[in-house]
Structure formats: structure tokens, C-alpha cells
Structure 1
Amino acid sequence: MKKRTLAALLGTLTALSSVAPTMAQAAENTEEYTVTFCRTQDSTMESDIFSILKDESYEDNRWTRLIADRLGINVKYLWIAPNEEQQTQKFNAAVAAGTIPDIVCVDKLTLKNLVEADLVVDMGSYFEEYASDLLKSMIESAGEQCVQACTFDGVQYGIPYVDCDIETAQMLWLRQDWMDELGLEAPKTIDDLKGIMDAFMEKVGDGAVGMALCNDLYGNLMDIKGFANAYGAYPRYWVQQDDGTLVYGSTTPEMKQTLEALADLYQNGYLDEEFHVNDGTKAAEDLVNDKCGVLYGWHATALWPLQDNLNQNPDADWRPYQIVTSEESAEVTPGINMMTSSWYAVSSECEHPEALVELLNLYCEKVFDPELNEYSYYANPGDGLEGVWRLSPVSLNSPDKNQQTAKAIAEPLKTGDPGDLYGEQLSMYEYSKAAQDGDTTLWGWNRVFGEGGSQMLLIDYENDENVKLVRDQFYGVATETMSMRKTTLDTVLDEAFIKIITGQTTADEFDNVVESWYSAGGQDMTDEVNEWYQAQQ
């Protein structure tokens, strides 16, 4: 069986959501018309697809032929840019000329600019009228924020390329084989976690690191977000206060408490002395080389860097745990934010705006409908042929695809019978089963989708009454002050945070730097965010 890379799998996971029926087969459309698009070349498509499918190209392939046959739509690319830089240049030129392609996929700032230039149409009514139940259920399952983010002055100008918000939640990864050997139980509090670090470091001896941390303080792994959540701190999130207003999470008293706790860890040798200059690859060396057994990370941490540890030491094992709390009785409060970052929009010059919805309906039918079971042909045929779904001019995620996969394969993994699993669910069953049967090269997949894996932990986060998810409340377009000053303002905070953690200054400096932050533009940014927030209520 060919193993998939992390990038390939995370880009093509399309396990099924079971909440929507198959799209009804419409009467053949006798009217033919052309719909224009643009795209950037994908270098991996040449090796993954075109080198195998000799009779298929961007302009003529199984998807474009299906679209022509079923919908009467001829797909035409106004340009296929060789790279992102040229794509941006060509798109900006088209905007300046007022001649964008009929259907585009853009970020929220670009969408706002298109709206202000009167270059895109209201898609709300078209979506309501034409969207299949399956498409509607997928958009709805991503939450209201992704639709609100493409709504301006009450008008929905886009259709979100939905993604999974719960997968932004942090979790604690621990070296399970050491936990078992030392007779340690799952930690509930920061003190419990420190006890585990003590035990691990004593076991490792020279060169031991208590908790992995790198210089990206807010990345997906080896960062401070999950640790901060224990104290009710949410750096770089906009969180709601008791009075209903939003405050920048990096400036709260809880953040000061977090920094004091991290400074204590640093002073007592739990953190690498050079963490603030080590990138993720460098910081991961302690994990891979059996020098560290604790880190905060995201749901895919098992795939990297922890799989590298198993590749070097097949006896190693890791498990994800809920993030801990600062006090015994406190709620577990992981932070999450809107993962959706792209939206489809339709040019005001397009004669058939409903085409976008019909194309998305068709994509969902072929890739996600469990009754038709056409995933293999239109998405991932397998046997070395990867990512055929990328030939479609439009595509979509199922926001809870990974959680649905974990649920679907749970019982088959116990019985050893895949039953009627197909598509990505079948692949993940096969990977996890092989790992359970001793293939350590596939260990990471089992720790994502198998029993006790990260997807099951995310499901627990959603269902556990002792867990309260705290959401970043700002999902709008960057405000004026954000656009001009946020990067600089964040840098000022981060430099102070590093100095506090490493003992170059005391935690009292936090109050001074926050005061300076507000004076240098933070107050204006906060006012703008709250003005936006009140408009959403």
C-alpha cells in the first residue's frame, strides 16, 4: 500500500458526513453556456495525475466532461498562473479592469474589496434556491461564522469553502510508553503535568527537556496556546469579557499569569534554554531523540513530528490528552477559531450565478454521497493516482469529515471487518489496522483516527460537559488599524513575552508593555473590533 504524505492526506481527506441525502438527478440541461475560472498550477498534479492520466488536462478531464454532460456548462480558464505571485498579479489586473472570471475563490479581504467595487453578486438567494440538502448540510455544519464572514450589510456575497473549527483546539501529547512504565495517570492540572515532567526528566537523565517549545509561540504545536488555556488566557484571540465587549487575549491578566508560570518552568529547567531561537524542526529533535515526552499540539501532531520518533524508536508511543487546568475544579477550556479562510464568489457580469451552486452540488454528489459511492473515480482512485478531485474547477470540504471517519472505523477496527467502508474511510481503516497489527510506519494514522486518537479526543471536547470551548470572536476583515499596525503591535508583545519567560525581565513588565500597546494603536484596534462586533449582534 502506498503511504500518503501529510500534505496530500490533509488536502484530500473527504470522509463522509452522513447527514444529507443524495442530490436528485436533474433533467438533462439542454442549454449550453460557458463559465470562466482562473487557477494556479499545482506542481504535484503533473506527477500525481497527468503523468498517469495521459488523456486528461486542466481544461479537458473527467470533471469538465461530467460538468458539460450533466449541467451543460463548458469550463473555461481565463488563465492558469504558474505560481501564486503571478496569480495575484493577474487577478489584481482583472479587478482593476473590472473583468474578473465568472467564479472566483478568494480570501475575506479580497471578497470585501470585490463587494466594494460592485464586482460580485448576492449569492444568498441562489444558494437558498439551488443548493442541495447535502450541500446545505455541509455549509451549516461549519457554523454561522463562515457565512457571516462573507456577509456585508446583510447581503451574503459568497459561499464558504468550509473547514473544521474544532481542529484548531489544542491537546496535550504525552509519551504513553513512559507513562505506563512509570505508573503515571492522566494529568488534570498544571501541577499534575509538572509531576509527569519531573518523572520523565529523571528517567531520561542528561539532556532531558520537560516540555517541548519552539520560537513560534502560536503555531499548531510546541507553542504556548494550550498551556495558556489552562489559565483562561487566549493569546491573539479576541475574547468576550463579562460586560459583553471584546478584548485582545494577549493583553489580559490571565496572560500575565501564564507568562509567570512559563517563567517558572524556564527557571527550573523544564524548557530548553534556547527555545526562543529554535524553530519547530530544531525543537522537534528532543522529541524524536527520546529526550522529551511532553508537548502541546494539534490533531495531526502524531503525523509529524511524533511519527519521526516511532521511525527511530519503534518501541515509543504517544497519546493525546485533554489540556489541563490551573486548578483541580476548573473547566477544561480549549480555544478554537474559525478555520474557514476562502469563499467562492460570482462576478456581477456572470449570466448564470446559479452555476456556482450547481457545480458545488455536483461536486458534493460525486465525492460525498454515500449511496452513489463514486468517491474513488472522482476524488482518489488509489493505486498511485492521488487527488483527482483537484481537476474540478470547484471543490469543497466536509467540515467534520475526520471526526466522521474516526466514528465510522471504530467498530471495524475492533472486529477486523471493514464492512461497507469506502473511500477515505476505508483508507484510514486500512492504515490504522496495519498500525495496530505492528506496522509502526503507519502509527501516526492510527493515533489520529484510531481508538484513543486525536479525532476521538476532539469529539470528546465537543460532547464532554466539563469542557467549554472558547471561540475567537473576531472573524471579520482586518480593521484599518489592524492592517497598519497589528504586526508591529504583536511583535512588541512577543518580544516582551520572551523576556519575561526567559527571566530577562519580571512579569511586572507585562503591565507596562500592555499600556504601551494600547497607546501605540491597541486601543484604536480594540475600539474598531468592538464596533464591528456590535454590528454583528
Structure 2
Amino acid sequence: MKKAALLSAVALMLVVTACGDKTNETANSNNSNNTQADAPANTPVEKADPFGKYAETVEFTTIVNNNPEAAKKFPEGESFENNKYKSYLESSLNVKSTPLWEANGAAYANKFNLMIASNDLPDIFVVENIDKTPAKTLLKRMYDAGMLEDLTTVYEQYASDAVKEVNASVDNKALENASFDGKLYGLPSVNDMNNAQMVWIRQDWLDKLQLKAPTTTDELMAVAKAFKEQDPDGNGKADTLGLAVQGAQLFNNDPFTLTGFVWAENAFPNMWVKDASGKLVYGSTMPEMKTALGKLAQMYKDGSIDSEFALRDGNKTSEFLVSDRAGMMMGMWWNPYWPIGGAIDNNPKGEWKAYPILTGDHVNVGNEFYSNSFMVVKKGYAHPELAVKIMNTMKANSTKKIPELLELETTGIYKASDSTRNQWGLNAQISPAFPDTTARTVKKFDDIFAGTAQESVLDIAEKPIFDQVKSEKDNPKKDLNNYKTFLAWMEGNGVVSHNKLNNVFNEFTGTTPTMEQSNTTLTDLQTKVFLEIIMGKKDISEFDNFVTQWKKLGGEKITEEVNAEYTKTH
């Protein structure tokens, strides 16, 4: 149930963001016979047409992450190496790709690292996070070794208006992140930054108790206390929870975690953030974390967080929603599919709404950087502009009908509504998306319902979502699947669209020698102390002892190493 709901939610999101998932990419690239080490790499031989088809077939090599589960979705007779969508893409540019090698999982990571160590690169490929090594670190490593082609000129000449517009929307910071000494060495991804946390609440419970929807942590604490004490379900029993919380994970993007609560207190656990001096510090050890833990301890003391939360994971906690014993949780936009979906199925009369938890005038959002992967070209490859054309093509294809593929798109992996069209193309692909892609989509929906826009403004990815949303508006709860989609997009993503978001980036996602040795010990220490503080087993002053212990057990050395690594790439 949980997996199906999550897959449904993720599929919907991928449709709109059109960001290629490397684990599902198809593609491939070709033979390095055309690699000319002596060719002037940044001198295009043709007029700079972003989508120009080559007069003669251009060959290139790449690598393939051949996910075996994804491979099962191909129609009979097709594969990563040979499929109709790949053929369409290659035909559109008159190119031919051949993989140097294929692998998946740990084998892919091993081959990738060996490929760099031996300087045996394909012509065009994507650099992504490998194990615990960030893509930016790998990019810098290849740049330092002189392995990569300078893409500055070909990007300026060949990048489509759509690709340039996306990069401009983040003030070209993604391009800067892929540049060294003022030169561009990778075509960066740009991702939809839809990582906002929110509080999901039974609106009918709020109305019954005549309570205002919470928009701050203090207001949330008051509502949670009322839900616990004032019988919001009206059954005459003291059996409702205040805030449904799981203990298996305290701070991640899973439902029922406390991430959004602590973010609202300017605390960013498990993230490396900048302090006032620009130095990277570990968010779990900052004073703001102590303040947030103090408030959570008060909620536990008040009974707003139930006494056995530490023993439950998300699945167990979801049972309280399904049984109508819980009417408030922290989560993300997709939670109407799961776990709220189970509550809706059990009690369709329940009314759910999403609200932001604000810090001043904005919602704090912990995020990775805009870009976490790069398309690169081996130094000396004769057609570096091809990488830019591939990006242009993937970006254009992500939101348009493709006449040549209409028959393919009616069933199977090629259906646009299944968001697979952008995942089964060349392995060397990155389709950049606006960081506010979700907000833009919701605004289109709002404008159509307000009568200020027509449905023609919707692209092929947005239309099926809108149809479900409109069906729900026209016939409320006639189809509960439409109701869940309406909640996810107009309520959950409505929080994203209708509020000012303050992105706080995790500035370091790699690993260091001391981190590899001590991380498990430090993580266990953090979990133990934080739970003890929340549950009242330790006074809030124990946080100061935790910080001292964290530093002593390796945290101080890790902080030095993290800052040293960060300096190398920034």
C-alpha cells in the first residue's frame, strides 16, 4: 500500500518536473571512432542551431546505468541498447550512440571510479553522486586531471532559450557551480526545489473546536494540545493524538517526522550549513536545535506527542490516521496518497487541509543545491556542442507531444502520463527544470479556475493532473483518487505555490576520513540524546553536553575536514 502510493506520487511529480532519473535512464552512446584528440574542440563546424540535425551521422560513446527493474518495462524485443524512443532521439539529431560499458548499483559505482582513475572516459556522459562522493567533487577531480572539455563557448552558442531561461531563473548559479576559473566544464541539472514541509490537519476537527489553523510552531503546539484534550472526533473518549509522530526517523522527508517543525525554528539537523562567518557547521549542534528540542519536550510533557511514539515507524503511526485517532501530522505535498489516503478511504467525510508553518514571513526549506549532476564531454571530442543539443532536445521533449511517438505513447513505458518519455532516451541526458516548477503548475491551475487562462496553457505533462483536479472540483469526492490528487496539488503544492520559500542548502553531501570512521557513533549519540530530551528523560541542558561529546568523538575533526573539502570546490 505504502509503496504503491509513493510510486503514484513520485510519478506525478516526475511528470511535471521532467527531471531525468539516472536509475531509469535508457540510453546509450556510441563508439569513439569520431573522437579526435587534435580537433579544435570548441570550434563548431556548422551554424549554431540548438536543434540542428547533422548532415552526416555523428557517433559518440557513453555509459549506461542499466537498472534491471527498469529494463523489465521495455516492450518485447527492446532494451536499453535498442528501443524506439532511443531511435527517435538519435534520428532527430542524426547521431549514433554506443555504450563503453553498462552496470548498475555497486558495480556502476566501481566502474565509474575506475573509469576516472584510468582516464578512460566516454565522449559524453553524466556525472552524478557516486556512493558518498558528490558529483561536484568528481567533476573537480576530472577538471584537475585535465580530462574535460571546456563547454563555455558551445553553451553560449547552442543552448536553447528554454535551457538558458531555466539557468537564468537561479541567477546562473548552477552554471557557476559547474565552472572552474571562469570556464564551464559541465552542463548542470537544475531541479524543482519542492521539498517544503507542511502540517496536514483535519479541518473538520479544527472547525468543531473553533480553532484557527496553525501557522507557527507555537500555534501548532496549541492545536495539538486541544486535539489531545478536547475530543475533536466527538466520540466521548480520550483517545485522540495531538500530533502524530514516528520515532524510527526524527528528521527526514518521511511522513510523521519532525523536520518541518525544527526547520521553522531555524534548526537544520543532519545538514552542513553556513554560520555568520561563512564557515560550515553541523546543524544538529547549533543553538536553534536546542530551542526546537525544548518545544518538542514541552509537547511530550503536555501529552500532545504520545508516550510511545519512539517505538513506532511510519507504517505503525499511519494506523492512527486510518482509525480516526489522529488528525494532524507534519509532512509533504504528496501525503494525500500516503498515509492520508488510508484515512480518506476509511472515512471519506473527513476534511483534510495543508498549512504552512512559518518563520516570520516565509517557510524554511532544507534542500540540496539546485544542481546535483552534470553532463560532461571528454577533452578532445570533436563535437562538444552535441552535449548541449542533447540537453536542448530532452528539455523540449519533456513537455510536448511528439507526433512520431503518438502510437508508442498510448501504452507501456512511452506514455507521457507515466513520465517515462524523458527517462528512456540517451544516457547522457539532463533535462533542467525551473526550481519553482511546481508553483508554476499550480498557478496555471489557479488561473484556469479563476477564468484568466485557458486549458491550452497546460503542457502535455500537466493536463492529466489538471483533469483529475477539475473532476474533483466538479464532483467532490465522487472519485476518491481524484480527491487525493486535488489535495496533493491544490492543498499540498498550494502551500509551495502560495508562500514565500527560504531555501537553506546542505552545503556538503560528501564524506571525509573521520566521518567514515565516526559517523555511526555520532549518529547514534544524536538519536539517543534527542529522544531522551524530547521524552523528558534528560533536561534540555543535556544538549550542551551532547555538543561537547559530539566534538570530542570526532565531530570537531569532521568539521575541519568538511571545511577543507568545501574550500577545494568553491
TM-score range, shorter chain: 0.7 to 0.9
What is the SS of the residue equivalent to 2:422? helix
Task: Summarize the Cα distance change of 1:486–1:91 in structure 2 as closer, same or farther, 3 Å threshold.
Answer: same
Please name the residue that 1:115 is paired with: 143
Task: Summarize the Cα distance change of 1:192–1:92 in structure 2 as closer, same or farther, 3 Å threshold.
Answer: closer
Alignment of 1:203 with 2:249, yes or no, is no
Give CA deviations for 1:455-514 in whole Å, capped at 9, x if unaligned.
22212333xxxxx61513615754554455445433322221111112222111110110
Alignment of 1:291 with 2:325, yes or no, is yes
Preserved contact between residue 67 and residue 74 of structure 1 (Cα < 8 Å): no
Residue correspondence of structure 1 range 39-438 to structure 2 within 5 A: 39-43=64-68, 45=70, 48-51=73-76, 56-81=78-103, 83-105=104-126, 106-107=128-129, 108=135, 109-142=137-170, 144-152=172-180, 154-165=182-193, 167-201=194-228, 202-204=231-233, 205-214=237-246, 215-220=248-253, 221-324=255-358, 330-338=360-368, 340-348=371-379, 350-368=381-399, 373-374=401-402, 377=405, 381-382=409-410, 385=415, 386=418, 387-393=420-426, 394-399=429-434, 400-413=436-449, 418-419=455-456, 421-436=458-473, 437=475, 438=478
The 1-side partners of 2:64 and 2:568 are apart by 34
The 2-side partners of 1:506 and 1:447 are apart by 40
2:431 corresponds to which letter in structure 1?
Answer: L
2:367 corresponds to which letter in structure 1?
Answer: N
Q: What TM-score comes out, normalization by structure 1 length?
A: 0.84
Deviation at 1:283, TM superposition (A): 2.0
The 2-side partners of 1:88 and 1:266 are apart by 44
Preserved contact between residue 245 and residue 329 of structure 2 (Cα < 8 Å): yes
Please name the residue that 2:554 is paired with: 521
Deviation at 1:139, TM superposition (A): 3.0
Unaligned runs of 5+ in 1: 17-22, 463-467
Give CA deviations for 1:92-143 in whole Å, capped at 9, x if unaligned.
3433432232222222143344334443333333322321111112233356
The 1-side partners of 2:563 and 2:488 are apart by 38
Task: Summarize the Cα distance change of 1:485–1:308 in structure 2 as closer, same or farther, 3 Å threshold.
Answer: same
The 2-side partners of 1:112 and 1:536 are apart by 7
What is the SS of the residue equivalent to 2:339? helix
Task: Summarize the Cα distance change of 1:504–1:254 in structure 2 as closer, same or farther, 3 Å threshold.
Answer: same
1:164 corresponds to which letter in structure 2?
Answer: D
2:154 corresponds to which letter in structure 1?
Answer: Y
The 1-side partners of 2:327 and 2:506 are apart by 33
The 1-side partners of 2:154 and 2:184 are apart by 10
Preserved contact between residue 405 and residue 428 of structure 1 (Cα < 8 Å): no
Deviation at 1:45, TM superposition (A): 4.5
Q: What root-mean-square deviation, in Å, do the aligned CA atoms of Structure 1 and Structure 2 show? A: 3.3
Task: Summarize the Cα distance change of 1:249–1:91 in structure 2 as closer, same or farther, 3 Å threshold.
Answer: closer
Deviation at 1:535, TM superposition (A): 7.6
Give CA deviations for 1:49-81 in whole Å, capped at 9, x if unaligned.
425xx6x54334444334433323102123333
2:241 corresponds to which letter in structure 1?
Answer: V
What is the SS of the residue equivalent to 2:334? coil
Of the candidates 487, 490, 504, which is equivalent to residue 447 of structure 1? 487
Deviation at 1:533, TM superposition (A): 6.3
2:192 corresponds to which letter in structure 1?
Answer: C
The 2-side partners of 1:503 and 1:188 are apart by 26
Task: Summarize the Cα distance change of 1:479–1:351 in structure 2 as closer, same or farther, 3 Å threshold.
Answer: farther
The 1-side partners of 2:433 and 2:337 are apart by 21
Deviation at 1:186, TM superposition (A): 1.7
What is the SS of the residue equivalent to 1:389? coil
Please name the residue that 1:9 is paired with: 12
Of the candidates 496, 504, 508, which is equivalent to residue 458 of structure 1? 496
The 1-side partners of 2:410 and 2:11 are apart by 12
Alignment of 1:490 with 2:542, yes or no, is no
2:310 corresponds to which letter in structure 1?
Answer: H
The 2-side partners of 1:486 and 1:324 are apart by 32
Task: Summarize the Cα distance change of 1:10–1:484 in structure 2 as closer, same or farther, 3 Å threshold.
Answer: farther
The 1-side partners of 2:145 and 2:244 are apart by 47
Preserved contact between residue 232 and residue 333 of structure 1 (Cα < 8 Å): no
Indicate the larger mover: 380-389 or 336-345.
380-389
Task: Summarize the Cα distance change of 1:420–1:263 in structure 2 as closer, same or farther, 3 Å threshold.
Answer: closer
Residue correspondence of structure 1 range 7-46 to structure 2 within 5 A: 7-14=10-17, 28-43=53-68, 45=70
Preserved contact between residue 50 and residue 158 of structure 2 (Cα < 8 Å): no
Indicate the larger mover: 503-512 or 86-95.
86-95
Q: How many residues align?
A: 511
Preserved contact between residue 148 and residue 378 of structure 2 (Cα < 8 Å): yes
What is the SS of the residue equivalent to 2:461? helix
2:438 corresponds to which letter in structure 1?
Answer: N
Deviation at 1:230, TM superposition (A): 3.2
The 2-side partners of 1:164 and 1:364 are apart by 14
Give CA deviations for 1:294-341 in whole Å, capped at 9, x if unaligned.
12112222222112221222112221111145xxxx444513322543
Q: What TM-score comes out, normalization by structure 2 length?
A: 0.80
Deviation at 1:237, TM superposition (A): 3.0
What is the SS of the residue equivalent to 2:382? coil
The 2-side partners of 1:405 and 1:422 are apart by 9
2:60 corresponds to which letter in structure 1?
Answer: V
Indicate the larger mover: 70-79 or 109-118.
109-118
Task: Summarize the Cα distance change of 1:38–1:28 in structure 2 as closer, same or farther, 3 Å threshold.
Answer: closer
Preserved contact between residue 49 and residue 388 of structure 1 (Cα < 8 Å): no
1:402 corresponds to which letter in structure 2?
Answer: T
What is the SS of the residue equivalent to 1:9? helix
Please name the residue that 1:20 is paired with: none
1:308 corresponds to which letter in structure 2?
Answer: G
* Percent identity of paired positions between Structure 1 and Structure 2: 28
Task: Summarize the Cα distance change of 1:41–1:142 in structure 2 as closer, same or farther, 3 Å threshold.
Answer: farther
What is the SS of the residue equivalent to 1:424? coil
